[in-house]
Amino acid sequence: MAATAAVCLLHSSRRLVGAARTASKVMRVQRRKTSDKAPTRTGKKNDEVISHELKEGETEKPTLFGGFGVPTNIAFPNLKGVEGWDDREMDVKEVIKDVPQIFKKEFKKLGKEISSIRGSVEKTDILEALGGLKDDEARADYRFRTPEEISLWHTGCDSDWKEGFSSVRFDPTHRGTAVFSGNLSSVIVKDGRVERAGYATIKLEDKAAFNRRKYFTQWMNYSHLMIKCRGDGRSYKVMLHSPLAIDMTWGDSYSFPLHTHGGPYWQYERIPFSKFFHTVAGRIQDRQQSVSLTDVSSLSITLMDRMDGPFALELDWIGVVHDRSHVEETAYETYTLPLWNTHGI
Amino acid sequence: KAASSSLSVAFRSFCIPSGAVSSSRFVSSEPSKPEEVRLAHIERQFDAVPRESRDKKAFLAAIAVFKERRSRQHVEFINSALKYVKEYGVHKELDTYKALLNIFPKGKMIPQNTFQRIMLHYPQQQNCCVKVLDEMEWHGVQPDKEIHDIVVNAFGEWNFATKKIKRMLFWMPKLKYSNKYIDRRHIEGKNLTAAELSGHALKMMSRDPATTLDFIKLSDGPSSSSSDAHLEDDWIVSAQSVQQRRIIAGLQEGTKITVDGPFRVYIMEHAIQYVKMTSPPLEKSFEEFEKHDMIGREDFSDWFSEWTKDRSGRGRSVQEQKDETVLAMAVFSNNDNQSADKWIRHLQKSSPALEKMMVHLRIDKGDEMFNTEKKDDTENVQQAKTSSIDSS
């Protein structure tokens, strides 16, 4: 603990006292590749050290590309809202080295995207876009048959951020489905910061070329979200994420519980889009609005039902269905409060 | 009454004697007194109670003792009490939280002018109140109007802590009954036996509304000592519907039927292990979606025959799943192949066709939910004995 604190201190002091160091005689410069607070991902080590021996009389000269001792913060946006996520340091040289490879992959993706633009003139597609859907018309968009389809889904749990002891995995089965399973633990990490623990989640990260968002516009005119799943009786939570443009709205989502009845029978769980309530970073908001699917770019299924123990949810497909008798626009009150009101804090 | 008085005697050695300086730092003016008053942490009040008598009465008594003795340090006491709420087993009771919030003085902390309304008036107390309400929400305890009034009387109508209880009162009732697969009122707060819970679990899992539940008591003969009688819990709860019996009657002779288990299901916070009896799927093709291209949509040439066909055609029953056909479900008190054998015997009474089938019992495989790999059929398969063996 003391060693890590010393390293952190070293970082901050280096940023402040850049000029004064030129006079001092530094024998060995050591720098960690990533910050101590940055979470460890599988396969990546957090304690790679870059070191360089200084010759007699040499001072640390700042260079344009990859100077030792010069902190370079390439300002990762802190999308996950976790302390230390954006505290990474990397040599600019390395970033430039990786660029051609990344660009090649992304341009290929972009090419595929352009060639598959939905300019369909099929009557069914036009009617779907305009809202002329028949009763019980459905589409199953996200399946779990191939490894590529499963790789779109990323798992997360509290132990990833060293805030708990849950475990999570997302594995394919021989039936062409995938199982979201693991063990939930509400044991609290004794670091004085964490108060509650125990969550596990899978999130769809289906991005277009250059990490652009894909929106669920195709689902715009359907009334219900349909998930074919087989649970274990626990109550999961479905979240439709709509992070939008500014960092204030990055936590915007619309949630609803996904109750499972367990057992060997498959469950076609239909949740009307009108029933989703507005949450920000998982917290229910006072001011409610109904979900607009043109802003939604991701979907996730979470388990945080405050019960310890193993869990398993088998997913066959996720899609939408239209129920023409469903006329409800939103299940929650949408009146607006007068100007000087108490909903502020 | 006796319990509370004995507890108050126990507490006296840790609390400050009345009339002394109101802080936990107490300097004794008479060092020669045999009974020294030591510096005592508030948590000792809860720790001192022996584990056997840690129940609701003891907890409420501790709160009552605090209320009559101290006029300060509510926040420290409440924060300490919250740590022991689960140990004393009172975390799911509304009375606990009402008693804890009643400790706050009424009226004193209500903001009187605009500045007090803007700034978080009595922030430590408000945060403590929110912690209590958080704990209540975490354990799923539903608030009522009385607890709202307690908080309003303490902090005012539109304050930070009251907003929390108002939000709880708005959202928790909305989502309390959103699970349409169980009726919470039958399960939460009730001391159900394992068999009753299993019955509820099987009812939740059965998608056929015409499922009937049977409770089969298995007695292995008289036990040697009477003390073991209550431990011998040998029963089966079996769930089967008329449709499933019809399917069994219609199966071909020699069809492979497997009894798989145990699998895990949760009913509220209880975990139940169940077994299922399945056969291979009845139909080769399993279509969930109808074709929906334009040609299919607007082809009305066969409209009359399609209409008549649909009327007389047999739809697919809910038992017929894609990979298996579910024939029955059960919960055993002991998960082993012997219980499965007895269960099959019981089912044979209503479905005599079962005797002609090849029943494979795979109970001893262990708890594995949604096995990702295909189970090896030839490993450790025990065939159910036919009617040549006499039933016990």
Closest alpha carbon to A326 in A273, A280, A259, A277: A273
Cβ contact A293:B125 at 8 Å: no
CB A252 within 8 A of CB A280: yes
The average pLDDT across B238-264 equals: 93
**Percentage of residues of chain A with pLDDT beyond 90:** 53
pLDDT at B379: 35
Dihedral pair phi/psi, residue A265, rounded to 5°: -80, 140
Is B171 close to A284, i.e. CB distance below 8 A?
A: yes
Per the CB < 8 Å rule, is B204 touching A233? yes
Q: Is the dihedral of CA A274, A277, A278, A279 positive or negative?
A: negative
What number is the average pLDDT over the span A70-95? 62
The predicted model gives B146-154 an average pLDDT of: 96
Contact B104, B154 (CB under 8 A): yes
Task: Please identify which residue in the block is written with the tokens 């802080």.
Answer: B23
pLDDT for A23: 38
If DSSP codes are grouped into helix, strand and coil, which group holds residue A266?
coil
* Ramachandran bin of A131, using left for φ above 0, alpha for ψ from -120 to 50, beta for the remaining angles: left
Q: Considering only CB atoms, which chain B residues are within 8 Å of A312? A: 264, 369-370
Determine the average pLDDT of the residues in B274-287.
Answer: 90
Burial of B50 (0-12, 13-18, 19+ CB in 10 A): exposed
Full strand arrangement of the beta sheet holding A235-241: A153-157, A200-204, A298-303, A235-241, A252-259, A277-280, A283-284
Q: What is the pLDDT of residue B69?
A: 82
- pLDDT, one tens digit per residue, over A221-274 is 999 999 999 999 999 999 999 998 888 888 899 999 999 999 999 999 999 999
* Position with higher pLDDT, B368 vs A95: A95
* A83 pLDDT more than 70: no
Structure-block tokens of residue B370 = 């949604």
Chain length of chain A: 345
pLDDT at A39 (0 to 100): 52
Mean pLDDT of chain A: 80
> What percent of chain B is predicted at pLDDT more than 70?
77
Residues with Cβ within 8 Å of residue B136, at least 6 apart in sequence: B94, B97, B143, B168
- Whose tokens are 């063990």? That residue is A183
| Chain B residue numbers touching A235 (CB-CB < 8 A) | 179
Q: Supply the pLDDT for residue A79.
A: 57
Tokens for B35?
Answer: 């009974």
Count of CA atoms in the C-beta half-sphere (13 A) of B329: 30
Tell me whether residues B372 and A310 touch, CB distance under 8 A.
Answer: no
Number of C-beta neighbours around residue B378 at 10 A: 5
Chain B contact present for A120, CB below 8 A: no
**pLDDT exceeds 60 at position B391:** no
Rounded to two decimals, what is the model's pTM? 0.78
* Alpha carbon distance B263, B198 (integer Å): 13
Nearest residue on chain A to B327, alpha-carbon basis: A264
Percent of chain B predicted with pLDDT > 90: 53
Beta bridge partners of B103: none
pLDDT tens profile A314-335 = 999 999 999 999 999 999 988 7
Can you tell me the mean pLDDT for A262-288?
A: 94
Which DSSP state fits B209? Answer: T
Contact in structure between B345 and B242 (CB atoms under 8 Å): no
- Give pLDDT tens digits for A126-169: 888 898 898 999 999 999 999 999 999 999 999 988 899 999 99
**pLDDT 10s digits, B283-321:** 888 888 877 666 666 778 878 887 777 665 567 889 999
Confidence of residue B144 (pLDDT cuts 50, 70, 90): very high
Residue contact B167–A284, C-beta within 8 A:
yes
Above 70 in pLDDT, residue B155?
Answer: yes
- Tell me how far apart the alpha carbons of residues A33 and A42 are, in angstroms, rounded to a whole number: 16
Task: Check residues A252 and A16 and name the one with the higher pLDDT.
Answer: A252
- What pLDDT shows up at residue B276? 94
Task: Note the pLDDT of residue B127.
Answer: 95
- In the three-class reduction of DSSP (H, G, I as helix; E, B as strand; rest coil), residue A181 is classed as strand
